[in-house]
Structure 1
Amino acid sequence: MPNTVVSILDRGLMPNQPLARQDDPPWQPQLIPGNNQSISGLSASHNSILLAGQSRDVYIDKSKNLNDVLKFLPIAKDAPFNAYDRQDEPACLPNTRIDLLQEIYNWADGKDGQDERCIFWLSGLAGTGKSTISRTVARRYNEQKRLGASFFFSKGGGDVSHAGKFFTSLAVQLADAMPSLQTHICDAVRERSDIANLSLLDQWRELIIRPLESDKRSSPSFYLLVVDALDECDNETHIRTILQLLAEARSLTTVRLRVFLTSRPDVPIRHGIRAIPQAEHKDFVLHNIQPSIVNHDILLFLEHNLGVIRQEWTLGASWPGEQVLRQLVTYASGLFIWASTTCRFIREGRRFARKRLDTILKASSSAVTAPEKHLNEIYLAVLNHSISLDYLDEEKEEACNMLKHMLGSTVVLLSPLSTCALSSLLQVSKEEIDSTFSDLHAILDISNDPTRPLRLHHPSFRDFLLSKDRCGDFWVDEKETLKKDICEMHAPGSQASQVESNRIQKCLPPEVQYACLYWVQHLQKSCSPAYDGQVAHRFLQAHLLHWLEALGWMGKMTEGIQAIISLEGHVLVNENPDLHAFIHDARRFVIYNRLVIEQAPLQLYCSALVFSPEKSLVRVAFENCIPHWILQKPKVPAYWNALLQTLEGHSSSVRSVAFSPDGKQVVSGSDDKTVRLWDAATGALLQTLEGHSGLVYSVAFSPDGKQVVSGSYDKTVRLWDAATGALLQTLEGHSGLVYSVAFSPNGKQVVSGSYDNTMRLWDAATGALLQTLEGHSDSVYSVAFSPNGKQVVSGSDDNTVRLWDAATGALLETLEGHSGSVNSVVFSPDGKQVVSGSDDKTVRLWDAATGALLETLEGHSDLVYSVAFSPNGKQVVSGSYDKTVRLWDAATGALLQTLEGHSGLVYSVAFSPDGKQVVSGSYDKTVRLWDAATGALLETLEGHSGSVNSVAFSPDGKQVVSGSDDKTVRLWDAATGALLQTLEGHSGLVYSVAFSPDGKQVVSGSYDKTVRLWDAATGALLQTLEGHSGLVYSVAFSPNGKQVVSGSYDNTMRLWDAATGALLQTLEGHSSSVFSVVFSLNGKPLPTLHSSSKWIADGTANILWLPFEYRPTCEAAWDNTLVLGHSSGNVSFLQLKHGPKLITMN
């Protein structure tokens, strides 16, 4: 099955027409034929999709009515109990489950008096009737207008197999059930149009809890949520999170929300329930009900259903007879699924119903055995009967193999497909599938509509079919099935979340979407290795970008990244070096470009390729996909550097970062007052923890990874649940902002350092204050525990490092030597050394026992904000105001690596637990992950050594001039990007540069308060114009080139004679600095080529996305050439065939 899926993906992704004509602009819309054989012209389909939904960052017009706003919330259409595809699923028959249902109703209606438990957990083994009870309860409260919402999970059920649309579906249903909630829910959607992409915690609180709290009622009403088969949610962490969040319903006062929950008694559910206080949940074990009660109910069920069959086929008043009914009850062994499967099997026999009943009686054991054995017998009876027609022996074998192939494919699917889609996936005619499944209605829910998904009546059949011991000759070897059918993938182009679903279905048929999402999982489960040059390798070399683009439109990039990471681990590097190298490069490529693929998938062929390293295997393989309208590509490094990914999301500086103990997550704290949790592998935002009312200065994980601690400008320390994002504790006591926090090694204590000159030790469980450590004469910037938890180290604004006894609070050592504030301190893993980083630009290593200074690490050109040891203690990492991250040898003090890329000062650094990665947080609002082994850039682009503040073209467009923080002016060849001249003379930063109209001179304005004129040909200094009393922000020539105008921090503009340098006029009137000056061009239109923030655009159309390090500090345009100046000091040149008409697009 793996090969089949790969081939489906291959066919779906194979373009039938060129990517674009050479003279076509990339954004020209084209139409796509939509059929199930292929997706013609992937790039064209993207354009068609792009027309339907330009961006995923949607602004929701406040004029939209409430129903229109609710449509922005994605829902799982099969989730409600009364969904169209669930309409034939049964409820409890009258006079069955009487006592149990009454107990549920009494609890839900609040009739138990003192029973305030908000969760009723009904657990039971497979087939005991949990879902039937859920449907009965949901239907009752729906009829009473008191059902808030229902969600029926189903393994392999697509959107109902995971929690991605759980809370959004509940919110939409609640809005329907309680119209007064609509306004509050819509307000939440308007405030955060991306609410559906936020964490489960944020969705629960913003879409459900807060709207319910805002819904003022004269008296509280009881509403019920029904959550069925939670154990079939595919993520155990999400199961536990859902349970913890649902328990918060108890805090509601305006509405009494009760949650009826069913599941098998699996470990994740049991652990999740145990984490909820006993006073908040009521438990009932279904399979522990007295057998006589269950048998009575099954007897009523059989009497009813067989009675219907008797009437339909006039089988006689005595059929089947009381004795047979008693036998059937015995065979059921308490399993309603046995009884319902039996009735469906007999009913499908129509006029042969008697014969089928006899088949059941003969197949079933009369001995008292385990319920599972009787379930095996009924399933085997159904399967045997389906191939017991008048076949020859060889025909029977072929029919059995075909049945196994089709059923096997159905049960291993990770999302249900229709018979049409299954036909395309298996490359078998639909007629053959219909014929094979015609006698299997007892176990398969087969609709007359060929486009509706094919479903199992009960998940126990999947367990049966995949167990060799249970089903004998019909056993489906999951590995063999996947090997045959699921790895030959050909993915088509699909669409983003804002695109209409019918357009998605047209461009990406279900079987292709399925292959896109699951081909790697099936390949792994097949236990079949992937080889160099074979199908998986060939697919990636031909269709990697097409597959990624499809995932982008589908909104499934996280799944794509996880698939690539899994595939890299599946391929043996020693045996298949070429395939492994390509997958590793693809991993770097997709993680680096994740943001743009999610937002604008077509940029895979534009931005993602042109800004990837020249020798990237992905770039080399797909070089011919770069559109012809990109005439000149920017100069980029030859190889991937140490930067693995940039995590964007914070709206202000990132002050602190840390890895979780298992290295799977990163936590960051920011000036935007939030704490964020990220997936370290994929870069996905997992949680946003909100609650602090001031900047967050410090964050850390607990040793078990279950909690996060944060310290803030609001003077508090806060403890959070890392899984749910819930606030656990707020520790108050400091009288100044909290700069630093850390857990003790056993996780039982927290230490904090503050502006109030003290450190405090807290009990992590209770929040109680244990110790206040006093001694520093100024703010405490950094604190840390020793590895054994017996000591605490602190760094302070008083220039000292101090060691304290954690038990007594006694001061042990004062380490003196720094000449500036100590911003960061930490113990080595063995506890024998301490490292510190300081305003004096040095990193220092100290002996923790004696306090002796061991090494002084020099190299940073500015303040050192953060330091950390590698897990093995052999390296130290430091982050600095100079925007760099540096790696040092802890034994010798030698500088090992300088990691450059941040455009702002680096506040925080940390190693991953395995020592292979470094994470950094910066003033530039990003979190970055680096490869600690490769470290330094393999190629350095020639350029300024400081941020580029201004760039301009010469009048003929052949040269570019730039001015930089490095105090120089540089001239470049616009065609080649070669450096022509470096003009030195300014003693301060250069803020502005411009050419004279004849191109022979350059003017520059500087922090040194001067304006300078230069000869563009020789680089000679012609004039120094002095007179401003403040730095010069802006300069320009007059149209005739005879005058120069300058604007300054001194609030004035000045006019100068360009030939003599004489001051002609001082123009006063501004009440603050003059940042920009320009002469009138007598009606001549100004150039419209612009770039700003994340995009280059033509008119209102975004055409080229800029990775973070290529986003400009300044830009200039000439004809079809765009020049960008960067904070790194580099200058980038791009030629776009359809310039110049580019505007800023945020």
Structure 2
Amino acid sequence: MTLAVSFGNQNTGVQLGGNSGNLTIQLQQPADEACLRDLRTTDPRDDRNRIERAKGGLLKDSFRWILSDEGFKQWQNSQDNRLLWIRGDPGKGKTMLLCGIIEELTSSVGDVSNISFFFCQASDVRINSATAVLRGLIYLLVEKQPSLISHVRSRYDKTGKALFEDKNAFYAVSDIFTQILKDPTLQTTYFIVDALDECTTDLNLLLGLITRESSSPKQVKWIISSRNWLEIEEQLETTTQTSPISLELNEASVSEAVEVFIRHKVEKLAKMKRYNQNIHETVNDYLSQNSQGTFLWVALVCEELSKISRLNTLERLEAFPPGLNDLYDRMIDYIRDSNEVDAEICLRVLAIISTMYRPPTLHELKGFLGLEEEDNGYDPEDVSEIIARCGSFLTIRDDVVRFVHQSAQDFLRLSKDVSPQGLEVEHHATFTRSLNLIFHNLKRNIYSVGSPGLSVEELRDLEPDPSPLVAVRYACIYWVDHFQDGVPGNSDDTSLDEGGILDRFLQESLLNWLEALGIMGTISSGIAGMLKLERLLQVIDTPGKPSPHMYILMPKSIYRAEEHHQPY
């Protein structure tokens, strides 16, 4: 065996290779590692693990039917069918179906092929855009085939992280993606994207790219899933390479898979609650007769049954109506029928989280609820207890609060019980609460550093435990977005007034906020927020009156002079 060892410039790691044998060691350049860190919005492998754990694990017998489906086999075996579209209504098991397909492909072709996937989630701004999808796909592709990072570096080295975040990010990243697909060293590649209907930003651009690339004669195949949306169907009809699989048209296979799921869930319930044979069979029969082929409905009912005494199971069983929306209505009624304090705080939690741009941590949610400021009988450290009382709309995983399903958030956003005054009012309340959290938590030199000039990495080593930023991270990043969606400038809005909350923030807390963003490594979010705020304030200017942004962003002596038309 001939062994070559090479050292390049100061940014290069060690590379070992041989012309025989199987020794291969490749250490990435530090610049490659920085590029990967900035490219990453999330690791899709972590998202997959989270989803599977949240749903109780991957049940093979509930997804293996698709491997025998003629549409799937045609996609798998034919070079003329490069795009498989799995479509179905909410709760039909699309996400777990794709998790199963990823597992099967990984075990069968993963050693010789790239398998890159992404799970969209509308309630999380980090993973609900076309740009995020491409970044995630490229991230896993480069992790598997490191040489492909050269296509990312060719653009990244000139601009840095802004390449992935500015207004032209989608076009820049899609160009990189296209160049990667043209690379002659690219292995056979499978791209899998779940829940395209939850891609809320630039979906049409993403669909255009997918249809275009799936029509090219390359060793690349796609699987996508979505709800039965007409706009998605219309775009996909432009390519002849699509093989659609409708879960509604595969009712028999889906129903059989749901039956497997029901037996699995009821077995677990029976062991936990010590059901006798009669209760066991009655629960199983009721779920089978009312599930309507919907995995999510079964999961939600079983979650509710797990909270009910065995003695009351049969009495309460028929209170769960068939159909997701009817079940959600029943869950809201149950919350409203609890004691007044419980009902109020649960509805408050649901209203807050239904407007948030990413799932909050327990610490962040505690701040938005203001539990530390209210004498309401709750332990402010035990937010998880409140979440448990919110029906089965929410789940906690790794101290992060999430909706059990996108359909739950869709339902709550339209519920007058949750947001009686509408989403705009809820957004404005979240904006106000965000700035109050900033006033309450931030201060100059928040880590009490003795000497200036430390790098961010050195500063993080001095982070107190617990961090004073833990409850305010979300507020720091997203307050401008809530201000925008709260319809600023209406007749009841006082935030733009002199001495109002926004005026106070800009005069008293702006520098503290910038310091916090620097520590968190999110200065770019702050810059984007200030630019968005400036545009918003210009839009809501009123002719004949001094503009609101003049009142806020200019010294008082200046805008008062303008108000009275005096020279200054």
Q: Distance in 2 between matches of 1:188 and 1:460?
A: 38
After TM superposition, list the pairs within 5 Å mapping 1:452-471 onto structure 2: 452-468=399-415
Say whether 1:325 aligns with 2:284. Answer: yes
State the Cα distance separating 1:406 from its structure 2 match.
Answer: 1.4
SS of aligned partner of 2:243: strand
Contact kept? 2:534, 2:549, Cα under 8 Å: no
TM-score normalised by L of structure 1: 0.39
Aligned to 2:115: 148
Q: Which letter does structure 2 place at the counterpart of 1:264?
A: R
Q: Distance in 2 between matches of 1:457 and 1:83?
A: 15
State the Cα distance separating 1:387 from its structure 2 match.
Answer: 6.9
Aligned to 2:295: 336
Say whether 1:175 aligns with 2:142. Answer: yes
How many residues are paired up?
497
SS of aligned partner of 1:72: helix
Q: Distance in 2 between matches of 1:535 and 1:122?
A: 48
Say whether 1:199 aligns with 2:169. Answer: yes
Structure 2: which 5+ residue stretches go unaligned? 1-8, 15-26, 373-379, 447-454
Q: Which letter does structure 2 place at the counterpart of 1:431?
A: E
Contact kept? 1:532, 1:577, Cα under 8 Å: no
Aligned to 1:379: 328
State the Cα distance separating 1:463 from its structure 2 match.
Answer: 2.1
The change in CA–CA distance for 1:183 and 1:501 in structure 2 (over 3 A counts) is farther
SS of aligned partner of 1:121: strand
1:986-1032 CA-partner distances (Å, limit 9, x unpaired) = xxxxxxxxxxxxxxxxxxxxxxxxxxxxxxxxxxxxxxxxxxxxxxx
Of 463, 475, 497, which residue of structure 2 is paired with 1:532? 497
Aligned to 2:6: none
Aligned to 1:665: none
Of 269, 275, 286, which residue of structure 2 is paired with 1:309? 269
SS of aligned partner of 2:487: helix
Contact kept? 1:487, 1:523, Cα under 8 Å: no
Say whether 1:482 aligns with 2:427. Answer: yes
Q: Distance in 1 between matches of 2:28 and 2:418?
A: 56
Q: Distance in 1 between matches of 2:155 and 2:11?
A: 13
Contact kept? 2:514, 2:523, Cα under 8 Å: no
After TM superposition, list the pairs within 5 Å mapping 1:420-459 onto structure 2: 420-429=363-372, 430-431=380-381, 433-440=383-390, 442-447=392-397, 449=398, 452-459=399-406
The change in CA–CA distance for 1:529 and 1:230 in structure 2 (over 3 A counts) is same
State the Cα distance separating 1:618 from its structure 2 match.
Answer: 8.6
State the Cα distance separating 1:124 from its structure 2 match.
Answer: 2.2
State the Cα distance separating 1:412 from its structure 2 match.
Answer: 1.3
State the Cα distance separating 1:87 from its structure 2 match.
Answer: 4.4
After TM superposition, list the pairs within 5 Å mapping 1:680-695 onto structure 2: none
Of 285, 289, 305, which residue of structure 1 is paired with 2:246? 285
Aligned to 2:194: 228
State the Cα distance separating 1:565 from its structure 2 match.
Answer: 1.9
Q: Which letter does structure 1 place at the counterpart of 2:423?
A: E
Contact kept? 2:94, 2:225, Cα under 8 Å: yes
Contact kept? 2:427, 2:482, Cα under 8 Å: no
Q: Distance in 1 between matches of 2:190 and 2:337?
A: 48
Of 345, 362, 366, which residue of structure 2 is paired with 1:402? 345
Q: Distance in 1 between matches of 2:479 and 2:488?
A: 16
Contact kept? 2:121, 2:128, Cα under 8 Å: yes
Q: Distance in 2 between matches of 1:189 and 1:66?
A: 16
The change in CA–CA distance for 1:619 and 1:77 in structure 2 (over 3 A counts) is farther
1:456-496 CA-partner distances (Å, limit 9, x unpaired) = 01011112223347xx58968434433444324165699xx
The change in CA–CA distance for 1:543 and 1:147 in structure 2 (over 3 A counts) is same
Contact kept? 1:122, 1:261, Cα under 8 Å: yes
TM-score normalised by L of structure 2: 0.74
State the Cα distance separating 1:173 from its structure 2 match.
Answer: 0.6
Q: Distance in 1 between matches of 2:298 and 2:457?
A: 42
Q: Distance in 1 between matches of 2:259 and 2:318?
A: 16
1:886-918 CA-partner distances (Å, limit 9, x unpaired) = xxxxxxxxxxxxxxxxxxxxxxxxxxxxxxxxx
Say whether 1:80 aligns with 2:42. Answer: no
State the Cα distance separating 1:385 from its structure 2 match.
Answer: 4.8
Structure 1: which 5+ residue stretches go unaligned? 1-58, 366-373, 390-395, 587-615, 622-637, 640-937, 940-1146
Q: Which has the higher contact order (CA 8 A, sep 6+)?
A: 2
State the Cα distance separating 1:288 from its structure 2 match.
Answer: 3.8
After TM superposition, list the pairs within 5 Å mapping 1:966-1005 onto structure 2: none
State the Cα distance separating 1:241 from its structure 2 match.
Answer: 1.5
Q: Distance in 2 between matches of 1:409 and 1:151?
A: 27
Contact kept? 2:541, 2:548, Cα under 8 Å: yes
Q: Distance in 2 between matches of 1:363 and 1:328?
A: 10
The change in CA–CA distance for 1:376 and 1:265 in structure 2 (over 3 A counts) is closer
Of 555, 558, 578, which residue of structure 1 is paired with 2:524? 555
Aligned to 1:513: 476
Of 193, 210, 235, which residue of structure 2 is paired with 1:246? 210
Aligned to 1:565: 535
The change in CA–CA distance for 1:334 and 1:545 in structure 2 (over 3 A counts) is same
1:122-152 CA-partner distances (Å, limit 9, x unpaired) = 2222222221212222222233314521111
State the Cα distance separating 1:404 from its structure 2 match.
Answer: 0.8
Q: Which letter does structure 2 place at the counterpart of 1:216?
A: T
State the Cα distance separating 1:185 from its structure 2 match.
Answer: 5.2
Contact kept? 1:229, 1:262, Cα under 8 Å: yes
Aligned to 1:162: 129
SS of aligned partner of 1:154: coil
Higher percent of residues as helix? 2
Q: Distance in 1 between matches of 2:272 and 2:331?
A: 21
Sequence identity percentage? 17
CA-based RMSD of the aligned residues comes to: 4.0
Q: Which letter does structure 2 place at the counterpart of 1:149?
A: S
Q: Distance in 2 between matches of 1:169 and 1:300?
A: 32
SS of aligned partner of 1:168: helix
State the Cα distance separating 1:453 from its structure 2 match.
Answer: 2.0
SS of aligned partner of 2:141: helix
1:575-627 CA-partner distances (Å, limit 9, x unpaired) = x74635336xx5xxxxxxxxxxxxxxxxxxxxxxxxxxxxx559969xxxxxx
1:726-766 CA-partner distances (Å, limit 9, x unpaired) = xxxxxxxxxxxxxxxxxxxxxxxxxxxxxxxxxxxxxxxxx
Contact kept? 2:215, 2:239, Cα under 8 Å: no
The change in CA–CA distance for 1:193 and 1:539 in structure 2 (over 3 A counts) is closer
Contact kept? 1:444, 1:456, Cα under 8 Å: yes
The change in CA–CA distance for 1:252 and 1:357 in structure 2 (over 3 A counts) is farther
SS of aligned partner of 1:258: strand
1:480-521 CA-partner distances (Å, limit 9, x unpaired) = 433444324165699xxx966994996854233244443313
The change in CA–CA distance for 1:513 and 1:354 in structure 2 (over 3 A counts) is farther
Say whether 1:362 aligns with 2:319. Answer: yes
Query: Which is greater in Rg?
Result: 1
SS of aligned partner of 2:279: coil
SS of aligned partner of 1:127: coil
Q: Distance in 2 between matches of 1:240 and 1:501?
A: 43
Contact kept? 1:532, 1:578, Cα under 8 Å: no
The change in CA–CA distance for 1:179 and 1:473 in structure 2 (over 3 A counts) is closer
State the Cα distance separating 1:89 from its structure 2 match.
Answer: 3.6
SS of aligned partner of 1:376: helix
Q: Which letter does structure 1 place at the counterpart of 2:413?
A: L
Contact kept? 1:532, 1:579, Cα under 8 Å: yes
Contact kept? 1:212, 1:252, Cα under 8 Å: no
Q: Distance in 2 between matches of 1:361 and 1:408?
A: 28
The change in CA–CA distance for 1:139 and 1:479 in structure 2 (over 3 A counts) is same
Higher percent of residues as strand? 1
Q: Distance in 2 between matches of 1:445 and 1:76?
A: 22
